[in-house]
Amino acid sequence: MISGTTRWYAVLGDPVTQVRAPELLNPVLAGFDAVLVPLHVRPDDLAGTLAGLARVRNLDGLLVTVPHKAAVCRLAAAAGPAAALAGTANALRRRPSGGWFAENFDGLGFVRGLTAAGHAVSGRRFGLAGAGGAGSAIAVALLDAGAAGVAVSDVDAGRRDALVARLEGVAPGRIHAVSPAAVTDADVVVNATPLGMRPDDRLPFDPAAAAPGTLVVEIIMKPRETELLRKAAESGLAVHHGSHMLDQQVGCYRDFFGWPR
């Protein structure tokens, strides 16, 4: 029951119809009189929205989805190590001194989701389609977890190259830029783009080009069975659903926001 004592959280995105965070986290938040609501915010309104929400005294934190993850990192007053390295954030908490503190748990949740499902990260070669908000965080976490290599493609070559240059300094020789067609030359191929959220989206890469035994991984959560995963399964490849990444972030959010256990 929402009352005058309820603490508020919001998830910001454009669109927000696909977000699973409210259904996943509200049962957790109900245990200590808090609630998470989705807010549809256009990119041009993001800075003003963040400034306005900072003035709402019973709102304690924000989650962030596409396309705002890079922008909120720039707008935050301070950032944690994963967000600073990725250049993107998916969680913001209020700072006692004012403004927002940003961190990114997409990568950690992604790696934990893979390992919980029995898929090793250390020593394996990853192809990563997408160097945006989630993709950049996933690249950081894969390298930190010991991936043998991460090959990154993106339709925005400048964004791809900037990510590779930034991470080459912390993982020399283990990250490099590739064309979208070459991303399937890996042990694990990941779609970290928004392609697949809409029925008429093109495939982010052709799973039929991957070698037998390749694992095809999705980060899109709705729909659960994207066209990419269907095509990969039809080609006889193992698949890994996007829901695992968010499920494994619940513990991260508990620690970040100080939620009781």
Q: Which residues are known catalytic residues?
A: 69
**Amino acid at the residue 20:** R
Q: Is the dihedral of CA 47, 52, 57, 60 positive or negative?
A: negative
Where do we find the tokens 């399964």?
Answer: 233
DSSP state, 134? H
DSSP string over 62-103: EEE-TT-HHHHHHHSSEE-HHHHHHT--SEEEE-TTSSEEEE
Q: Which residues contact 204 (CB under 8 A, 6 or more apart)?
A: 129, 130, 180, 191, 193, 195, 196, 228
HSE-CB at 60 with a 13 A cutoff on CA atoms is: 15
